[in-house]
Amino acid sequence: MKISYYPDTDSLYIDLSERPSAESREISEGIVQDYDAQGSLVGIDIDHASKKVELKKLTLDKLPANEPIIAA
């Protein structure tokens, strides 16, 4: 999973998978979910993210990850 914030457009994208998006659905104003060809959720796009999400804090809790957490 990868979370990217783009300050020039104030958008936040959460990549849930490396699979490509085949379909997008707006689930509420400015929030779009991306799905792969099999219908699995692969990403979430949030427009005007600074007004919808607390961007200054990220808490990771009880992740079952074997890979190290990488901060870019």
How far is the CA of 70 from the CAs of 1, 2, 17, in angstroms? 11, 10, 16
Which residue range forms the structural domain that includes residue 27? 2-52
Q: Please check the confidence at residue 7 and state whether its pLDDT lies above 80.
A: yes
Name the residue with tokens 């998978």. Answer: 17
Interval 17-58: pLDDT, tens: 999 999 999 999 999 999 999 999 999 999 999 999 998 888
Per-residue confidence (pLDDT) for residue 25, from 0 to 100: 98
What count of other Cβ atoms lies within 10 Å of the Cβ of residue 46?
A: 19
71 domain residue, yes or no: no
47 domain residue, yes or no: yes
pTM: 0.85
Per-residue confidence (pLDDT) for residue 32, from 0 to 100: 98
Length of the chain: 72
Q: Residue 72 belongs to what H/E stretch?
A: none
Tally of domains within the chain: 1
Do 60 and 69 touch, CB atoms closer than 8 A? yes
In the numeric block, which tokens belong to residue 15?
A: 């990549």
61 domain residue, yes or no: no
57 domain residue, yes or no: no
Q: Please check the confidence at residue 63 and state whether its pLDDT lies above 80.
A: no
Per-residue confidence (pLDDT) for residue 72, from 0 to 100: 67
